[in-house]
């Protein structure tokens, strides 16, 4: 009934940010996890909290085994916020802390969040993380916080943003120059650090971007896409 | 019209007969006596309950100070004891409205000694339930973000969220149950206004609204009661359905089920009735009101409980049966963990307490006339209903679709302290109310005398 | 509140419960006291059709229905209207959907209906007081009070008091 108007829409229609994760390339090295921690001011959970299952990893490497030792085969799957087109976490938020941006991001407004945690329950991927305590960083990590990223306080939900600070930076540059953001101009920290280039990021509305081309690969699938969540991330996996 | 006038005047004549007149005097004295006679044990009970409430308040303060991490929650289990308690207490609050509302609508004579006891429970348990919303919030100091009022922050609540439906329903229900408790109290306040001294007198003077017992007043009261009774039963059904929606509209395996809202309503009535029976037992026992809360009342409550037990068992069976036969893997992991897995002991205890034991016991006519027995069944049902809330929340959340994220949950000492404190708070409010309002509606009891209940006996 | 300086007065007779009220009421009617000026006080409702003020053409349920309708309107504005003013996209759900507006409107309908019914009843109770005498605690024990409202100079005052005495009133009082 009501269309959302985006005043800052770029020439040629809005962006739709998306990612492709090639599971056949992923080695499970966890470089993306480390990069994400450094980029996004992710708090240090500590041993005790981590053992309670409260470690925060906006991107995590899920390990699955096939077969028994010694013939076990380990499989890795990086899981991060899928930035669903029809996100289950969004409508359940009573204060609009979780909402959908016009460029297809599943945004989390920390200031608004009151911490009812319904979004965390309703996320089928369990990629939402909660700040159970006031965040802290051991010395000297507190000296290297990223000034572009908010430090989240106690009692709010947080999750992967697709490094929205980088996206917005590139968008503003492009807007000033009166053009669209070029393919490859924006790379989230995890994509940037992936040594095997298993992760690719870009605009799905641009048919010539790497993401658009790769996601048409016949190896592609969406994680739990049968739920109708319309995830923005396409996984690639060869079926043996 | 004239004939009707005479009929009702006959009722007044009956009041003049010596036997009835004496009964009326006795009713006044008997039902007011709990408010005036205070033993030492009363103060002990109040002190103990207050201490437990204070402990819970301390635990909550500690949680606010340090963070919600003081609970045992962690991904993927974001809801735990607090939400289970919220659902449980909303359930208990269905006692008053169901018992008193439905019995009033059906003009059941035997409701008279039960309504007030039940209505007080409704009000207090909905208060405790509302408290748990705040205990549960991660940033409780920002609770006003949930209230729809124009503000400078450009924040408005999202009515698409089931939690906002919840807030609307709970607010409506709490307001109306307060009104529903207060209306039939007005004549009793007038009665007490003339008989108490000290600080209570000016209070009752205000609360009695200058009641003079005129027929016009009775008529307005009666009209308002009849209308509000019907409405509040409709609100009651909607409140627990909406609490059920909180779960049913989500994607979580084990929650996403169409039967959850009606099943919640039945479960709520189940625990509400059980709580009313417990209240009846203790009020009768402690204040020796055997002449008012009689065995026939327990018998009739027992029959109603039997009906609700059957309904609950039916709903429960349907819910599990459908999931089990459908054999969808995500749903099955949840069901398996409940039926055979780590949650099996709690589950089978719940089945025994909630279904098997009440079904057998309440089917025996002699058991229904045994107040202590009914009270024990009430306790069992309440324990089982609490387990049921936990079993809905924890196993479902603990088994999300990606097995990597599976988790277990056990409440922390903070959660348990607050849980115990919530029970103490409910009891404390109830115990304090005994000194403030008559536990049995005096005028309704007197009206019962004039309706000739005593002759039928 | 019966003020001694006001132009009206209330003659109040307190009767034992067994006193037949019917003849007294008939006599009062013969004396041309209107139904609005006679009140009977009792510990429980005893008359289905009371002699009293102001309830005649007034149906409380109409208030309830009107308040409920206003509640629905308010609910629609709250859940639908504000969403239109504040259109934020969440999870592929429409900005305004009938089922959600329905739920909120239902609750608001109930809230408005119940609160308004309650307030109306309270106001009506408070306003009915100018006819009846002050409360007598003996009413709670089963006694019945009859109040008659008349002008201070009404010549029927004396006969009414006599009538009450004859009928066996425990107490007759003029306020």
Looking at domain C8-53+131-174, which of 3.30.70.120, 3.90.1490.10, 3.40.50.150, 3.90.1150.180 is its CATH number?
3.30.70.120
Q: Could you say which residues of chain B have pLDDT below 50?
A: 1-4, 7, 453-457
Q: Measured between alpha carbons, how far is residue A152 from residues A69, A145, B37, C129 in Å?
A: 42, 12, 56, 61
Question: Scanning every residue of chain C, which has its alpha carbon at the shortest distance from the alpha carbon of A91?
Answer: C90
Q: Which of B74, B75, B156 should we substitute to test contact with A (largest number of A Cβ atoms within 10 Å)?
A: B75
Protein fold of A17-236: Alpha-Beta Plaits (3.30.70)
Q: Where in chain C is the domain with CATH 3.30.70.120?
A: 8-53+131-174
Q: What pLDDT shows up at residue B15?
A: 57
Comparison of pLDDT for C16 and A216, the residue scoring more? A216
pLDDT digits (tens, 9 = 90+) for A71-81: 888 889 999 99
Task: Name the residue among C117, C122, C145 with its Cβ closest to that of B228.
Answer: C117
Q: Rounded mean pLDDT of C81-91?
A: 86
pLDDT for the residue B355: 94
Listed by number, the residues of chain A in 87-116 with a beta carbon closer than 8 Å to a beta carbon of chain C are 87-93, 96, 98-100, 102
Domain range for B213 is 11-38+73-409+435-456
- Kindly tell me the burial class for residue B306, based on how many C-beta atoms sit within 10 Å of its own C-beta (0-12, 13-18, 19 or more): middle
Interface test with B, best of A2, A44, A95 (most B CBs within 10 A): A95
pLDDT at A4: 52
**Spatial separation of the C-alpha atoms in residues B248 and B231, rounded to whole Å:** 25
DSSP state of A151: P
Instruction: Kindly tell me the burial class for residue B235, based on how many C-beta atoms sit within 10 Å of its own C-beta (0-12, 13-18, 19 or more).
Output: buried
pLDDT at C6: 62
Q: Does A230 contact C at CB distance below 8 Å?
A: yes
Q: Average model confidence (pLDDT) for chain C?
A: 81
Name the CA radius of gyration of chain C, rounded: 25
How far is the C-alpha of C77 from the C-alpha of B150, rounded, in Å?
Answer: 14
pLDDT on residue B245: 94
The pLDDT value recorded for residue B454 is 37
pLDDT band at A88; cut points 50, 70, 90: very high
The number of folded domains in chain B is 1
Confidence of residue C1 (pLDDT cuts 50, 70, 90): very low
**DSSP of C18-72:** TS--HHHHHHHHHTT--GGGEEEE-SS---SS---SS-TT--HHHHHHHHHHHHH
- Here the ipTM equals 0.91
Encode pLDDT of C139-174 as tens digits: 887 788 888 888 877 777 788 888 888 877 888 888
pLDDT for B451: 67
Q: How far apart are CA B277 and CA B298, in angstroms?
A: 8
In a domain, B177, yes or no: yes
CATH of the domain at B287: 1.20.1630.10
Q: Which chains touch A (3+ CB pairs under 8 A)? A: B, C
CB of C145 within 8 Å of a chain B CB? The answer is yes
Residues 6+ apart with CB under 8 A from B302: B277, B362, B367, B368, B369, B374
Q: pLDDT tier at C56 (50, 70, 90 boundaries)?
A: low
Q: Does the pLDDT at position A126 exceed 70?
A: yes
Quote the CA–CA distance of C11 and C33 in Å, as a whole number.
Answer: 12
Q: What mean pLDDT comes out for the span A114-127?
A: 94
Contact at CB, C79 and B159, closer than 8 angstroms? yes
Identify the three-state secondary structure at position A150.
Answer: coil
pLDDT of residue C149: 83
Domain ranges of chain A: 17-236
What residues of chain B, 219 to 248, have a C-beta less than 8 Å from chain A?
A: 246
**Predicted pLDDT at C145:** 84
Residue A147 and residue B370: Cα distance in Å, rounded?
Answer: 71
> Which residues does B294 contact at the CB level (< 8 Å), separation at least 6?
none
- When the pLDDT of each residue in chain A is averaged and rounded to a whole number, the result is 90
Cβ neighbours of B82 (radius 10 Å) = 24
């Amino acid at each position: 009934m009501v269309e959302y108007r985006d005043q800052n829409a770029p020439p040629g229609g809005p962006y739709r940010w998306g990612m492709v994760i090639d599971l056949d390339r992923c080695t499970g090295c966890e470089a993306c996890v480390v990069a994400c921690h450094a980029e996004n001011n992710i708090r240090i959970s500590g041993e005790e909290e981590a053992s309670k299952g409260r470690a925060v990893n906006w991107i995590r490497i899920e390990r699955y085994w096939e077969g028994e030792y010694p013939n076990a085969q380990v499989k890795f799957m990086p899981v991060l916020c899928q930035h669903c087109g029809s996100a289950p976490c969004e409508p359940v938020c009573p204060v609009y802390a979780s909402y959908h941006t016009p460029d297809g991001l599943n945004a989390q407004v920390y200031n608004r969040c009151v911490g009812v945690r319904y979004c965390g329950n309703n996320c089928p991927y369990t990629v939402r993380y909660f700040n159970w305590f006031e965040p802290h960083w051991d010395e000297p990590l507190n000296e290297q916080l990223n000034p572009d990223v908010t430090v989240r306080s106690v009692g709010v939900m947080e999750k992967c943003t697709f490094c929205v600070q980088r996206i917005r930076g590139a968008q503003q540059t492009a807007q000033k120059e009166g053009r669209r953001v070029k393919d490859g101009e924006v790379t989230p920290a995890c994509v940037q650090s992936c040594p095997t280039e298993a992760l690719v990021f870009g605009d799905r509305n641009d048919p010539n971007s790497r993401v658009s081309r790769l996601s048409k690969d016949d190896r592609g699938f969406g994680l739990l896409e049968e739920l109708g969540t319309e995830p923005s991330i396409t996984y690639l996996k060869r079926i043996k | 019209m004239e004939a009707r006038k005479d009929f009702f005047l006959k009722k007044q004549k009956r009041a003049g007969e010596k036997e009835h007149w004496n009964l009326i005097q006795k009713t006044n004295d008997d039902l007011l006596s709990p408010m005036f006679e205070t033993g030492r044990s009363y103060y002990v009970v109040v002190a103990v309950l207050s201490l437990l409430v204070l402990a819970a308040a301390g635990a909550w303060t500690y949680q606010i100070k340090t963070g919600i991490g003081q609970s045992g929650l962690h991904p993927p289990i974001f809801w735990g004891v607090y939400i289970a308690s919220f659902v449980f207490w909303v359930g208990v609050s269905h006692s008053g409205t169901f018992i008193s509302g439905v019995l009033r609508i059906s003009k059941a004579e035997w409701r008279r000694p039960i309504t007030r006891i039940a209505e007080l429970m409704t009000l207090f348990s909905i208060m405790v339930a509302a408290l748990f919303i705040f205990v549960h919030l991660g940033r409780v100091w920002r609770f006003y973000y949930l209230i729809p009022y124009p503000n400078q922050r450009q924040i408005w609540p999202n009515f698409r969220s089931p939690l906002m439906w919840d807030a609307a329903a709970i607010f409506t229900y709490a307001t109306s149950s307060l009104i529903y408790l207060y209306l039939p109290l007005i004549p009793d306040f007038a009665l007490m206004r003339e008989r108490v001294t000290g600080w209570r007198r000016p209070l009752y003077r205000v609360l009695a609204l200058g009641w003079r017992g005129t027929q016009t007043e009775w008529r307005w009261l009666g009209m308002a009661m009849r209308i509000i009774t019907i409405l509040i039963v409709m609100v009651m059904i909607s409140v627990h359905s909406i609490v059920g929606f909180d779960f049913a509209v989500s994607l979580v395996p084990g929650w996403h089920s169409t039967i959850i809202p009606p099943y919640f309503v039945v479960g709520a009535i189940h625990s509400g009735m059980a709580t009313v029976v417990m209240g009846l037992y203790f009020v009768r026992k402690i204040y020796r009101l055997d002449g008012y809360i009689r065995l026939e009342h327990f018998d009739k409550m027992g029959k109603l409980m039997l009906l609700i037990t059957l309904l609950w068992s039916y709903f429960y069976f349907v819910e599990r049966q459908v999931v089990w036969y459908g054999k969808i893997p995500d749903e099955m992991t949840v069901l398996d963990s409940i039926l055979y897995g780590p949650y099996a002991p709690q589950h089978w205890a719940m089945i025994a307490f909630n279904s098997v034991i009440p079904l057998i016991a309440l089917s025996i006519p002699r058991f229904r006339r045994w107040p202590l027995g009914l009270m024990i069944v009430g306790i069992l049902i309440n324990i089982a209903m609490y387990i049921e809330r936990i079993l809905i929340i924890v196993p479902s959340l603990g088994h999300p679709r990606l097995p990597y994220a599976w988790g277990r949950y056990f409440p922390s000492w903070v959660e348990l302290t607050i849980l115990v404190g919530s029970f103490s708070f409910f009891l404390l409010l109830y115990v304090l109310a005994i000194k403030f309002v008559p536990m049995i509606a005096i005028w309704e009891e007197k009206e019962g005398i004039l309706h000739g209940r005593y002759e039928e006996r | 509140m019966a003020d001694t300086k006001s132009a009206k007065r209330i003659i109040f007779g307190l009767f034992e419960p067994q006193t037949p009220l019917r003849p007294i009421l008939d006599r009062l009617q013969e004396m041309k006291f209107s139904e609005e000026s006679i009140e009977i006080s009792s510990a429980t409702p005893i008359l289905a059709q009371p002699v009293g003020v102001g309830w005649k053409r007034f149906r409380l349920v109409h208030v309830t229905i009107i308040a409920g309708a206003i509640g629905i309107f308010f609910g629609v504005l709250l859940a639908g209207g504000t969403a239109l003013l504040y259109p934020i996209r969440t999870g592929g759900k429409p900005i305004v959907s009938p089922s959600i507006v329905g739920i909120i409107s239902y609750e608001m309908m109930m809230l408005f209906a119940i609160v308004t019914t309650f307030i109306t009843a309270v106001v009506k109770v408070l306003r009915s007081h100018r006819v009846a005498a002050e409360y007598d605690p003996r009413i709670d024990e089963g006694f019945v009070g009859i109040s008659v409202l008349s002008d201070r100079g009404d010549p029927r005052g004396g006969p009414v008091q006599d009538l009450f005495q004859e009928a066996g009133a425990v107490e007759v009082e003029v306020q």
